[in-house]
Amino acid sequence: MLSVLDPPPNLFLRLYRVLKINFFWKILQKLNQIKKSQAGRIGIEELKFYDDLFTFRDGNAVPQGTPDELLAAAKKMYTGPVKTGAD
């Protein structure tokens, strides 16, 4: 039996929905901010779907070196000495 002090049965469901909507709204606002920044960086007013992968006006970054050189650099980077806070 429900008392006067008990919340309505669907209150928690409503609260969950409101929190979920607020969370996704914040994500959409951040995404919009990122896309506006991208549009300004490449010098256009409005992004189209085909501009999505275009990051910089002079082109996107390209790896420098041969695949073997890149692999050697990656191995060096990931197998270097491990520093801890105790060092």
Q: For the chain, how big is the Rg over CA atoms in Å?
A: 25
pTM, to two decimals: 0.52
Read off φ and ψ for residue 33, nearest 5 degrees: -65, -45
Q: For 24-80, what is each residue's pLDDT tens digit? A: 999 999 999 999 998 998 888 888 888 888 888 887 788 899 999 999 999 988 887
pLDDT digits (tens, 9 = 90+) for 15-24: 888 888 889 9
Cα 59 to the center of its chain, rounded Å = 21
Helix, strand, coil shares, percent, the chain, to 5: 55, 0, 45
Domain ranges of the chain: 11-60
The token duo for 45 is: 């007013």
